[in-house]
Structure 1
Amino acid sequence: MNQQEPATVPASIERSTVSALRERPRAQVLIIGGGINGVGTFRDLALQGVDVVLVERGDYCQGASGASSHMIHGGIRYLENGEFRLVKESVQERNGLLKIAPHYVKPLQTTIPIFSTVSGVLNAPLRFLTHKQQGKPKERGAFLIKLGLSLYDSFSRDGGSVPRHQFAGRKKALQTLPLLNQDIKYAATYFDASVHNPERLTLDVLRDGEQAGRSADTSRARASNYLAVTRIAEDGVELTDQLTGESFSFTPELIVNTTGAWVDQTNAAMGEATSFMGGTKGSHIVLDHPELLAACAGREIFFEHTDGRIVLIYPMGDRVLVGTTDVDADMRKDAVCTEEEIDYFFDLVKHVFPTIEVNRSQIVYSFAGVRPLPKHDATQPGFVSRDYRIERADRQVGDRKIPVLSLVGGKWTTFRALSEHMSNDVLELLGKERKVSTAGLAIGGGVGFPKDEKAVESWILQHTGPQVDAQRAAVLLTRYGSRAEQVIEYLEAGTDKVLDSTYELSIREVAYIAAHEQLGHLVDVLIRRTSLAFRGLVTGELLTELAEALRGPLNWSDERVQFELRHAEIVLDRFHRVQVQNLVV
């Protein structure tokens, strides 16, 4: 079972999102791919008044967008590749996202442990010029890192949202982080940003687009997940519902292909073979490890491992994220974290924190994705450009040609700028003018989000009542941002009950998610609507209780409930190393 291609489920009914496309099977623009770049383009075009439709063959943010390192960053290491334009844009977009999406994007203090002073100075120019590692990797020393961080800071001069970097010697560094490898000579500390809920940020961007396109008589911004483009049809493309297996024709004036690492496969399905992509796989593990969590002291530890690969140890709440690898991906196989990669992660932890033991029993979750990188031939994966470009080709459909714009590359941090770039190209082809810029435009639950901890406490107090206690209000604010007010209104409009298996969900919140967030499967709630799977909190009791809570809102039969329980168990085990014990089916 490929996670991108869910099995047809028993006795499924047509969803309202699919019905809306069947009833009006045409649009000016069809976007294929519901990762952050596709969804960002959907929002941007909707704001310009374009009649735009987005389809995603799996769930939103299910591919590479949901398998990121959860960082919003400028990409300091890209300086070595000479990608100054990308780094500058990334830093600016990072600063912007801290302001327009404060509910999900937070400042992240990052420390680089450094083991030498001038190492790598001679190798760096060769890496810069050839994009290859020359011989045995030589670690980047303090001189190179200081130079890079100074340049990195310079990109934040206008509108900077984070402090400048700082350098510390061995003694001071070990006072702050005493369990670091005692062989360090320096530690450099700077700030980037994190996004703890990339899936929910993607959903927020999507809902912004849907709302922007809504008018009194019709919607000019429609989207559906679990709906795939399967081939070119006589008057457009054929869309196939991945939950029912039913197909219908859809007619766009223009197509945007934002399917990431699958861009070439999507183009092939539309009758035009391309070879733009050369994605690399990146894996991560999530640890329940209090000692390692405490050793990080709230900071991301970002460093060069012994093989020259830039890796990270990253505290997230009460868990620790460790990653990532960068190996050429085989698109014929599922992207999963392998045993060899886990051994690599344990080795890198030992390199930085030699006295801390880690083992497989502490892994609560793992994930992997394929980066949408361009074809790179002999260039080593770590040196492949993270920048993006847009390729245009025309597809013959019946007696007319449809322009197809394919996105090659792209990274999480720059999604807003990239979406604006893509939208500008679309607007030019449609002969339309831009009405509004998304720069500085708050996203979803970032509108009116509390500005500091005191304001957060005040918000929680104001939204505590008979149906929602302070603990639940805090969970809802974290999950939805300021949109939590709408959720709380929904919860208070009827009788509610917190699930027995977790205080983080209630019967009516599950119904709200089912009504507003396009669920296709039970597992969508666990992986992409909440962080319950990521934090290792899935139990057999939770699965069973959640399936029953979804039965009514989604009209699931007994057969469908049993299918969803089994499907969730398979996906969690196969793709995330989560084995749910005592599952009742």
Structure 2
Amino acid sequence: MEPPFLYDLAVIGGGVNGAAIARDAAGRGLSVLLLERGDLAQGTSSASTKLIHGGLRYLEHREFSLVREALHEREVLWRIAPHVVWPMRFVLPLVREGRPAWMLRAGLWLYDHMGGREALPATARVDLAGEMAFRERIRQGFEYSDCWVDDARLVVLLARDAADRGAEVITRCDVTRLAREGSGWRIETSGPNGGEPFRAAMVVNAAGPQVGAVMDRAHETKPPLLRRVRGSHIVVPRLHDDPRAAFLQLPDGRICFAIPYEHRFTLIGTTDSEEGADADPPRASAAEIEYLCDAAARYFRHPPTTADVVWSYAGVRLLADDGSGKPEAATRGYHFALDRGADAHSAPLLSVLGGKITTHRTLAEAALERLGIEADAGWTATAPLPGGDFEPDGLDEADNLLPVEQEIAAIARNLPRGTIHRLARAYGTDALRFARGDMGRDLGHGLTEAELDHLMTREWAMTAQDVLWRRSKLGLRFTQAEVEALALRMGSAS
């Protein structure tokens, strides 16, 4: 007699796509298991450019369907997660080596009109003389809207919502073998379950750059056209005090962004390279860091040097190879490889290829549809993520969370204003779960014992790196001694 399935669906991969699929499936009443070999968002999903955007440059490659879908998702995600997603204006300077003004104007008109924009401000022509610490030659440009996201926290919130709806989320659990057993899957792992295999009726392989390795462990044939592209970013001291981001056109035809980051810094990226994309973990190369510094030097009066870089990171995107010669031109759309084994009654394995953080929600819906799960589709478009059950006051970041901040301040009266703002941005109303008069010892830069306990009990944080680089970006401020003290407090390695 075949043993009963423990789960309707097992999802392998705790990045944005895997967490979104687990959340959607759990919300539809399925019993769900989410397995992640490291920490949530430890890979590509915490190494993005931190944007919820349509992808203005994808219009150039005629990916109109992808851009339309992503543009529609901007305001959906802003509504359901206003604490970790918020509007940002982007300045696109007119430069001699860039696209002509008529082309940019046409592209931005499409950008404004093809995605159902409702609340975000429209494109405008702007005078940039003396603005944003630009060089003297930059005098005119356009300004348009997209959104910013705390990418790693978004993933954690998706997983938290999945768990709140009944999913079991297990991190530090590597899948070592997948095998069809009867009409389901036997999933062998090395991790905290003590070696006991899991069993599930269906499996989704959302392992990102490791999707091919998971298919190998299932002894399934990999799609022949997979492409690994590494994108690198740098963080430098803030280049200007303007709240707007800059869209930088470069002489080689590529683009990158310079984005205000964590109040004191500027984030610059991304690159696209297939070299070093197999490294685990991937790293920004010296050549890429220099390239990004040179990109900033073309636009800003006081550009960074490589010595100014306070942090660099890289992520690998697994893309479907559409024959594009340049990696930056390869499609960012998502695809699925569905394997049903020997016959239509065999247990399905759905592998997720590609995707953008902006389209994670619609990707999850499409994945479940491919598995034949159609009931209750669409609920994720309106259900807020944990902490997001409030209405933002407006488009200005400074006032966006004022009511939430006031509630936190009324309870935790001794917290500095900057810490209260960070808590509101990171947790929204969920900060009220752990806010109290005595938040315990300050472990450094506003991280209190109360917050740390919340991260360890509610958000799967196990190491100092989990806390400092994925649940927050306090790693930009912590000294090595403070990191070691935090690790000691958590009972883990630094």
TM-score above 0.5, yes or no: yes
Aligned to 1:523: 465
Mapped to 2, the partners of 1:483 and 1:64 lie a distance apart of 26
Mapped to 2, the partners of 1:547 and 1:468 lie a distance apart of 27
3-state SS of paired residue (2:383): coil
Amino acid at match of 2:148: S
Aligned to 2:70: 90
- Note the C-alpha offset of 1:298: 1.4
Matches within 5 A, 1:258-297: 258-274=206-222, 275-289=224-238, 292-294=239-241, 297=242
Question: What is the aligned residue count?
Answer: 481
Label 1:238 to 1:439 Cα distance change in 2 as closer, same or farther (>3 A): closer
Amino acid at match of 1:222: E
Q: Is the 8 A contact 2:87 2:148 kept in 1?
A: yes
Mapped to 2, the partners of 1:457 and 1:284 lie a distance apart of 31
1:208 aligns with 2:161: yes
Q: Is the 8 A contact 2:340 2:349 kept in 1?
A: yes
Mapped to 2, the partners of 1:521 and 1:260 lie a distance apart of 22
Matches within 5 A, 1:9-408: 26-116=6-96, 139-156=98-115, 158-168=116-126, 172-177=127-132, 179-184=133-138, 186-195=140-149, 197-213=150-166, 221-233=167-179, 235=181, 236-242=185-191, 246-274=194-222, 275-289=224-238, 292-294=239-241, 297-316=242-261, 317-334=263-280, 335-353=282-300, 355-377=301-323, 379-395=325-341, 401-408=346-353
Label 1:267 to 1:329 Cα distance change in 2 as closer, same or farther (>3 A): farther
Amino acid at match of 1:539: T
3-state SS of paired residue (1:463): helix
3-state SS of paired residue (1:347): helix
- Note the C-alpha offset of 1:409: 1.2
- Note the C-alpha offset of 1:175: 4.0
Amino acid at match of 1:277: L
Q: Is the 8 A contact 1:90 1:414 kept in 2?
A: yes
Amino acid at match of 1:365: W
Amino acid at match of 1:176: E
Mapped to 1, the partners of 2:128 and 2:47 lie a distance apart of 31
Q: Is the 8 A contact 1:260 1:408 kept in 2?
A: yes
Matched residues, percent identical?
29
Amino acid at match of 1:41: I
Instruction: State the Cα deviation string for residues 146-177 of structure 1 (Å, max 9, x = none).
Output: 11001111124x45221111123xxx321434
Aligned to 1:482: 429
Aligned to 1:6: none
Q: Is the 8 A contact 2:456 2:462 kept in 1?
A: no
Mapped to 2, the partners of 1:34 and 1:272 lie a distance apart of 21
- Note the C-alpha offset of 1:477: 1.4
Q: Is the 8 A contact 2:68 2:114 kept in 1?
A: yes
Mapped to 2, the partners of 1:185 and 1:436 lie a distance apart of 45
- Note the C-alpha offset of 1:541: 2.7
Aligned to 1:557: none
1:416 aligns with 2:361: yes
Label 1:82 to 1:159 Cα distance change in 2 as closer, same or farther (>3 A): closer
TM-score, normalised relative to structure 1: 0.77
Label 1:349 to 1:41 Cα distance change in 2 as closer, same or farther (>3 A): same
Label 1:88 to 1:115 Cα distance change in 2 as closer, same or farther (>3 A): same
Instruction: State the Cα deviation string for residues 353-396 of structure 1 (Å, max 9, x = none).
Output: 2x314223322211100012113455311111111121211246
Aligned to 1:119: none
Q: Which of 460, 473, 480 is residue 540 of structure 1 equivalent to? A: 480
Matches within 5 A, 1:498-513: 498-502=441-445, 504-513=446-455
Q: Is the 8 A contact 1:264 1:276 kept in 2?
A: no
Alignment root-mean-square deviation, CA: 2.5
Q: Is the 8 A contact 1:285 1:323 kept in 2?
A: yes
Instruction: State the Cα deviation string for residues 35-88 of structure 1 (Å, max 9, x = none).
Output: 111111111111110111111111111111110000110011111111111111
Instruction: State the Cα deviation string for residues 297-331 of structure 1 (Å, max 9, x = none).
Output: 21111021111111111111211001110011545
Aligned to 1:554: none
Label 1:454 to 1:414 Cα distance change in 2 as closer, same or farther (>3 A): closer
- Note the C-alpha offset of 1:475: 2.9
**Larger helix share, 1 or 2:** 1
